[in-house]
Structure 1
Amino acid sequence: MKRTKTIIILVTIAVLFTVSMYWLYSKNIQDPIVYTTDNASIGTIVKKTVATGSIVPKEEVLIKPNISGIIDEIYVEAGQVIEAGDLIAKVKVVPNVSSLNSAQSNINGVRTQVETARLAFQNQKNIYNRQKELFEKGVISANEFDNAQLSYDQAQQRLKQEEVSLRAANQNYDIIKTGTTSGLGASANTEIRATVSGMVLDVPVKTGNQVIEANNFNDGTTIATIADVDKMIFEGKVDESEVGKIKEGLPLEITVGALPDRSFEAELDYIAPKGVSENSAIQFEIKGTMKKTDTSKTFIRAGLSANASIILAKAEEVLTLKEALVQYDPETQKPFVEVMTGDQKFERRDVELGISDGINVEVKNGISKDDKIKVWNQLKPPAPTKQG
């Protein structure tokens, strides 16, 4: 009886062992990893960094008045193309009482000086005439006559200077009172004219607005902004982590948010020598001159936001490979790939890499276009869930 139980127990253990071994074997051979492959291709690799900014005119001229007053008329509007010398606006002068009184007092003072100079001149003229008669009769010497003539000429010159000063004082009074005077012609202060040719970008004033003249203590009121829209630049900023990678002369590829289907070429020609802290990050200003475009087909408005792709390096018509297919030796850190040699059989192949755009990388040596490269880090499809 005991022997029978022992046999049954041994048989049961053997069966369980056999079932366990079969189960382990089945688990070992099921669901093998089947590696897929990918090929290298001929393409272009562009390594670039991006800067944000806007499109602005290269030169922007602010037109300001030479006299304070009120805008009487405006002759231009934004978007209009004008030439240098064209009339932009007219200013009506509102005279300052204090300045008028000062100018009037100055005139009175100069008139007194003119009368004094005229009396002195008349006196010297009489002396000169008497000395001349005496000299012709031989009563006085030539030296005495020369002194009389010199005094006469000096008195006459002094009278002319005082008369010029009086005219200037009168003109100054007229300018303070009306903004212009006789003799100014086209340079009348009340007429504001364009100093350059270009497009009017903005007219920030309206008829009736008060304007202030530009002087040493005040920038003055801007009446119009004029720029040559054929000469536009990209103006943006790059982070300090990128500024060391760029240099003047690099090509830019400009994309404008308002024109998503087009890109524009430019050249980087300015990098600020000093950074500015913005939101706890150091930013460096950059500028790039845009190549001239046909404004009849595409008009780039000043102030449009834009992004500039700064081309750091470019390789055209080279062998490229997805960077995810490249592996690195854990000890030497040298790059390599695994090339298929048979059914699910691969061999290691060291490669020499060039520039990378973060997705694809240039392969200079090690593989060919026809080699099948192992996708070593492929993702397994998710296991099917049981429907309950």
Structure 2
Amino acid sequence: MKKIIIFGGIALALIAVLIWFGKKNSASPVKYETEKAFKATIVKKTVATGKVIPLEEVEIKPQIAGIIDKIVVEEGALVKVGDLLATVRVVPNEQSLTSAKGRINSIQIQLSNAKTQYNRNKNLFDKGVISRTAFEASELTYNQFKNDLRNAQNDYQIIKKGSAGSSGANTNIRATASGMVVEIPVKKGYQVVETNGFNAGTTIATIADMTKMIFEGKVDESEVGKLIKDSDLEVSLGAIENKKFPAKLTFIAPKGTEEAGAVQFKIKADVSLDDDYFIRAGYSANAEIILEKKDSVLSIKEALLRFDKKSEEPYVEVKTGEDKFEKKIVKLGTSDGVNVEVLEGVTKDDDIKIWNKASKDKEDTNNN
């Protein structure tokens, strides 16, 4: 009896499976929705990352070595040419100071001897014993030593105090350009080195014109060839949301640099500022650059495309009848990542298959 029940259950299960397969095979084939080509403006863009910096920056450096004695301005202050920024206290070099003092003593000895000869020759000249030429020669030597002594004394004062007079011209650090003080990398007590032919010197302050800002960024080598000087850009700042600043491309580097295995080219663009926003130097920024633009061209969505496995040519399937589609090879133009220009292969009247999207009728059938 148990065997009859078991075999009967298996038979019923087989009948149910056969009925299910029969219904599935009799179901209508999948119906795909279609979409037509359309006219669109295709804009291909690239994004360059970088920062916003002042067009003009001037580094202020001392004319003499020493120690910062006082800083009279703060970062963010507006200054004009000639304004005092800081003062430097000179710490003289002992060897140079000793050498300058020794030179003074040597010239004083020579001057004393020249003065004695000058006075002697003057008395002789007044008595008519020597010629005017001999007297003038001694007078010239005497005057030269007096001048040498003044120069030696001035050199000594410069080494000792940084200035030959009382004005302190070398120890007073003044602005050489008008603008905003954007950086003061030193503090009171810092030791600084003067700028000369062998040393760049210590930067005491950096002054920039904050009314003229530029975007400085980098683009990949695959896109730099498509850039055109004087092109329009839109610059977005990380510190200012929902605001784009117009800019004009002014510079494209003729030489690239390799970074992380890719060659990058520096670009610069003049940024048009908005008076409602204060742009600080060094803000991180992204610049959208239009590489190519096509107005009102025949386009389709890129999601409609497929690529041949052998030839890798792009194609779409165009509806030719009820649930029937024909493969059409297409020639493509500019793409913006969503829509792509179609040069050949389809017309605006063709119904193009939407891949992997069944019709609503099919969905209703499945629900029933």
SS of the residue 2:32 aligns to: coil
Look up the match of 1:69. 66
- Matched residue of 2:355: which SS? coil
Equivalent AA in structure 1 for residue 52 of structure 2: I
Partner of 1:56: 53
In the TM superposition, residue 49 of structure 1 has moved relative to its aligned partner by 2.9
Aligned to 1:111: 108
TM-score (normalised: structure 2): 0.78
Match of 1:178 among 140, 153, 161: 161
Check conservation: 2:157, 2:164, Cα contact below 8 A.
yes
In 2, the alpha carbon distance for the partners of 1:347 and 1:244 equals 38
**CA drift at 1:290:** 2.2
1:138-287 pair list within 5 angstroms: 148-182=131-165, 185=167, 188-243=169-224, 245-246=226-227, 248-264=229-245, 265-271=247-253, 273-276=255-258, 278-279=259-260, 281-287=261-267
Q: Mark the CA change 1:282 to 1:368 in structure 2 (over 3 Å): closer, same or farther.
A: closer
For residue 375 of structure 1, report the CA deviation from its aligned partner.
Answer: 0.9
Number of residue pairs aligned between Structure 1 and Structure 2 = 346
Please name the residue that 1:313 is paired with: 292
Distance (Å, rounded) in 2 between the aligned partners of 1:70 and 1:331: 75
Distance 1:68 1:41, change over 3 A: same
Picking from 73, 78, 93, the partner of 2:75 is 78
What is the RMSD of the two structures over their aligned residues, measured on CA atoms?
3.5
Q: CA distance change for structure 1 residues 249 and 104 in 2, over 3 Å: closer, same or farther?
A: same
1:237, distance to aligned residue in structure 2 (A) = 3.3
- Of the structure 1 ranges 72-81 and 152-161, higher mean CA displacement relative to structure 2 is found in 152-161
Partner of 2:301: 322
Distance (whole Å) between structure 2 residues aligned to residue 86 and residue 27 of structure 1? 91
User: Which residue is equivalent to 1:33?
Assistant: 30
Match of 2:10 in 1: none
Which letter maps to 2:155? N
The one-character-per-residue Cα deviations of 1:7-29 (angstroms, maximum 9, x if unpaired) are xxxxxxxxx99x96x87663333
State the distance in 1 between where 2:358 and 2:267 align.
Answer: 44
* Alpha carbons of structure 1 residues 331 and 159: separation in structure 2 relative to 1, 3 Å: same
1:319 positional shift: 3.8
Separation (CA, whole Å) in 1 of partners of 2:358 and 2:197: 72
Partners of 1:208 and 1:343 in 2: how far apart? 89
Offset of residue 58 of structure 1: 2.9
Identity across matched positions, percent = 47
Q: Structure 2: how far apart are the matches of 1:175 and 1:380? A: 93
Report the residue type matching 2:45 in the other structure: K
Residue 110 (structure 1) shift: 2.1
Structure 1 spans left out of the alignment, 5+ residues: 1-15, 135-144, 384-388
Deviation, 1:87, is 0.8
In the alignment, what sits opposite 2:355? Answer: 376
Structure 2 letter corresponding to 1:292: S
Contact 2:230 / 2:248 at 8 angstroms: preserved in 1? Answer: no
Q: Is the 8 Å Cα contact of residues 32 and 359 (structure 2) preserved in structure 1? A: no
- Corresponding letter in the other structure for 2:157: D
Q: Deviations over 1:105-133 (max 9, x none)?
A: 121122223333333444454455455xx
Distance of 1:153 and 1:37 partners within structure 2: 114
Distance verdict in 2 for CA 1:177–1:353, change over 3 Å: same
Q: Cα offset for 1:251?
A: 4.2
* TM-score, with structure 1 as normaliser: 0.75
CA–CA distance in structure 2, aligned partners of residues 369 and 77 of structure 1: 66
One-letter amino acid of the structure 2 residue matched with residue 176 of structure 1: I
> Which secondary structure does the structure 2 equivalent of 1:182 belong to?
coil
| Displacement of 1:320 | 3.3
Distance 2:34 2:123 in 1: 120
Looking at structure 1, the residues matched to 237 and 296 of structure 2 have their Cα atoms a distance apart, in angstroms, of: 28
1:269-322 deviations in Å (ceiling 9; x for gaps): 13251423x44x14434031223313x312221112222333321224444321
Distance in 2, matches of 1:129 and 1:358, equals 105
Question: Which deviations, in whole Å up to 9, do the C-alpha atoms of 1:226-260 show, x marking residues without a partner?
Answer: 11223323333344555555465554432221123
- Asked which structure has the greater CA Rg, the reply is 1
On the 8 A contact 2:215/2:271 being kept in 1, the answer is no
Q: CA deviation at 1:86?
A: 1.1
Q: Distance in 1 between matches of 2:102 and 2:355?
A: 97
- The one-letter amino acid paired with 2:268 is G
Letter in 1 for 2:174: R
Displacement of 1:201: 0.7
Query: What amino acid does structure 1 have at the position aligned with 2:338?
Result: I
SS of the equivalent of 1:301 reads: coil
